[in-house]
Amino acid sequence: MDLRNIAIIAHVDHGKTTLVDNILRATKVFRDNQDTGDLIMDSNDLERERGITIFSKNAAVTYKDVKINVIDTPGHADFGGEVERVLKMADGVILLVDAFEGPMPQTRFVLQKALHLNLKPIVVINKVDKPNCRPDEVHDAVFELFFQLDATEEQLDFPTYYGSGKQGWFNETLEPFENINPLLDGILKHVPPPHINKGTLQMQITSLDYSSFLGRIAIGKVGRGVIKEGQQIALMQPEGVVKKIKVKELYVFEGMGKKKVSEVLAGDLCAVVGIDDFNIGDTISDVENQEALPSISVDEPTMSMTFGINNSPFYGKDGKFVTSRHLRERLWKEMEKNLALKVEESEGGDSFIVFGRGILHWVFW
């Protein structure tokens, strides 16, 4: 099957999640009479409450017989631990900017990482229906930002689309259109198919999921070869550690969920069940031809905060989880999926030093 893997990056409140909603609806992921509401990809309660994407997510749609894997990424630097990893799965990015505000600091942060990975960019200028919008000036500002970030000549020659996510249209010009099909056509035209290397199985784990039934789930893009259900694979970790493990189950992304499959070909994104003791950056390789990929670097935490149990006069008056054991369990559970978070225990064991990327990083878990 023909494939495209694309990530969507934008500053907070520039309309990224609304754009994803439009893509899902335009490609008939849902029935015509199905009430899906808004913020479809923001399924976490805190994400819906605050109107901000915290966790990277995957969806897959089919347009003109081409499967498009859509990666929705956080738009704030405090959640950069998510962004840095998932961009490894993409072959192109949609840079979404507000037609009035233009590119913002968070846009710069994520775009720089995408350009360094040599991803093909598509620029979408959103909210052109609003008063005081200035799409032409914003386009020039985006070009200047690309230039400042040392974009290649090919990246500087980016296609631009204009539109309104709220009204449900995007076009190559400022002329309103009936739907977002011009943008979907642009994805097929400008984003290259995954580069497939010849050889045996090689896949880097770039993200993870967690299920109380299946345990930790490794997610990544199959770089070459084929991975099959029941296959013996070599899990290659830093310092030459190699573990031989059997793949229990395989899933690919379909619509808003996952579909169980027997094998996944190179270029597609997949979720692997059965590998519990893995880290981000580990390589899944063929048992007979063990080749590791370079490890993924995630920016270190920038701030720390001490968390401890309540020792005030009101101790025990409110709350259900009030002991250091409860606090420890919550922190260790969070570290299962939040890889940008680090925790150190105090000598007494009644408090914990939590290292994160910023205030929002703590608030939202």
DSSP symbols for 178-204: SSSHHHHHHHHHHSPPPP-B-SS-EEE
Helices (H) and strands (E) in the chain, counts: 9, 20
pLDDT at 207: 82
Which domain CATH number covers 316?
3.30.70.870
pLDDT at 315: 67
pLDDT at 260: 92
Same domain (yes/no): 47, 183: yes
pLDDT at 28: 80
pLDDT at 319: 67
Of 239, 256, 286, at which residue does a domain stop?
A: 286
CB atoms within 10 A of CB 185: 14
Torsion sign, CA atoms 61, 63, 68, 71? negative
Task: Determine, yes or no, domain membership for 65.
Answer: yes
Same domain (yes/no): 85, 224: no
pLDDT at 48: 38
Considering only CA atoms, which of 55, 51, 50 is closest in space to residue 39?
A: 51
Same domain (yes/no): 129, 266: no
Which domain CATH number covers 207?
2.40.30.10
Task: Determine, yes or no, domain membership for 55.
Answer: yes
Query: Along the chain (365 residues), what's the average pLDDT of each consecutive run of 10 residues?
Result: 88 79 82 44 40 55 93 56 73 93 83 90 94 94 95 95 94 94 96 90 87 84 94 90 92 88 94 86 91 76 75 69 77 70 77 70 47
Measured in residues, the chain has a length of: 365
Same domain (yes/no): 138, 236: no
Considering only CA atoms, which of 275, 278, 279, 253 is closest in space to residue 264?
A: 253
The two tokens of residue 330 are 């919550």
Task: Determine, yes or no, domain membership for 266.
Answer: yes
148's CB contacts (< 8 A; 6+ apart) are none
pLDDT at 194: 93
Of 254, 286, 318, at which residue does a domain stop?
A: 286
- Which residue in this structure is represented by tokens 């893009």? 221
Q: What angle do the packed helices 135-148 and 105-116 form, to 10 degrees? A: 50
Query: Alpha helix locations (H) across the chain?
Result: 16-26, 45-50, 80-86, 105-116, 135-148, 153-156, 181-190, 324-335, 359-363
Distance in angstroms (rounded) separating the CA atoms of residues 124 and 165: 10
Host domain of residue 282: 202-286
pLDDT at 265: 94
pLDDT at 74: 61
